Amino acid sequence: MITKVKNIINKKNKSPLVCLTAYSKTISQILDKYCDIILVGDSLANVLYAMNNTHQISLNTMIRHAYSVRQGIKKSLCVVDMPKNTYNNIIDAKKNAKKILRKTKCHAVKIEDNGKNEKIIKSLVKLGIPVMGHIGYTPQFKKKFKIQGKTKLQKKELINRAIKIEQAGAFSIVLECIKTISAKEITKNIKIPTIGIGASKYCDGQILVTDDLLGLSGFKPKFVKQYGNIKKIIEKSVQHYKKEVINKNFPKKNNSY
């Protein structure tokens, strides 16, 4: 059975939420057993499509990947990032969020905070669409990577944004690259779960880009822990394959018709 939004909220102060990204069925069907939430992140722009940022990824590309990811899921809540410029106003946000959920059968959308889009969140929640917020370093709106919530003023601003997003009806908020002290305070000040990426252990859950965790992307900032080295496994396998092709050891009789 699919995890419900209310189960996610109920885990706050009880059990940390385990969240990861996926861009395809092959990965989501492995993650599903272990995750509360699987996010089809627009980070696929950088990771899969070799783009410099997430700004150009289209709604249809997100939908194609989200459809694939959803096919591998039996229990996790599947959240899809709304790409930049697909929620600039309430009419577009409603139309595009409905399209994402209708075409992919995923369960919720994620919206990055631009400092003033709580009305957009409210309008989607009113339609019955579960929304995950995203504050701190928001790649759709911030030009340069920078740790957020460093000063007292920034901390206060982030807490206020989190409260506004909670009041708009979001069921959780991603905190990206936020100073420990600020992430801790934000988490204390809202009733919905915070999900951290580079935002300390004081968040209610954690998320990483799966390709980073597996050592596949080669992206290794301080907040990433590499739990495996899939790159090495692929290299070894491909080397072996090459050797066998050259030596005429593959295909064998049992690989032939």
CB atoms within 10 A of CB 162: 26
The reply to whether 118 belongs to the active site is: no
Q: Least Å distance between CB 20 and ligand KIV?
A: 9
Query: What is the full DSSP assignment across 91-158?
Result: HHHHHHHHHHHHHH---EEE----SSTHHHHHHHHHTT--EEEEEES-TTT-SS---B--SHHHHHHH
Query: What's the angle, vertex CA 188, arms to CA 183 and CA 191, rounded to 5?
Result: 115
Which residue in the shown chain puts its C-beta closest to ligand KIV?
A: 41
Q: Least Å distance between CB 207 and ligand KIV?
A: 5
Which of 5, 35, 41, 104 is close enough to bind ligand KIV by CB under 6 A? Answer: 41
Per-residue x/- marks for ligand KIV, 3-32, CB under 6 A? ------------------x-----------
Contacting ligand KIV within 181-200 (CB under 6 A): 197
- Kindly provide the b/e burial profile for residues 131-143, where b requires at least 16 CB atoms within 10 angstroms of the residue's own CB: bbbbbbbbbbebe
Which of 28, 43, 148, 210 is close enough to bind ligand KIV by CB under 6 A? Answer: 43
Query: Which residues, in sequence order, are bridge partners of residue 38?
Result: 20, 78
Query: CA-CA distance, 102 to 125, in Å (whole number)?
Result: 16
199 three-state secondary structure:
coil
Residue 155, CA distances (Å) to 36, 111, 188 in order: 28, 20, 13
Identify the active-site residue in 112, 118, 166, 176: 176
Which of 42, 113, 118, 166 is close enough to bind ligand KIV by CB under 6 A? Answer: 42
Query: What's the angle, vertex CA 152, arms to CA 146 and CA 156, rounded to 5?
Result: 90
Contacting ligand KIV within 156-175 (CB under 6 A): 174
Nearer to ligand KIV, 21 or 96 (CB): 21
Greatest alpha-carbon pair distance for the chain in Å reads 70
Asked if 207 touches ligand KIV (CB under 6 A), the answer is yes
Asked if 136 touches ligand KIV (CB under 6 A), the answer is no
Contacting ligand KIV within 51-90 (CB under 6 A): 81
Q: Least Å distance between CB 89 and ligand KIV?
A: 22
Q: Which residues are catalytic?
A: 176
Residues that bind ligand KIV (CB under 6 A): 21, 39, 41-43, 81, 174, 197, 207, 209
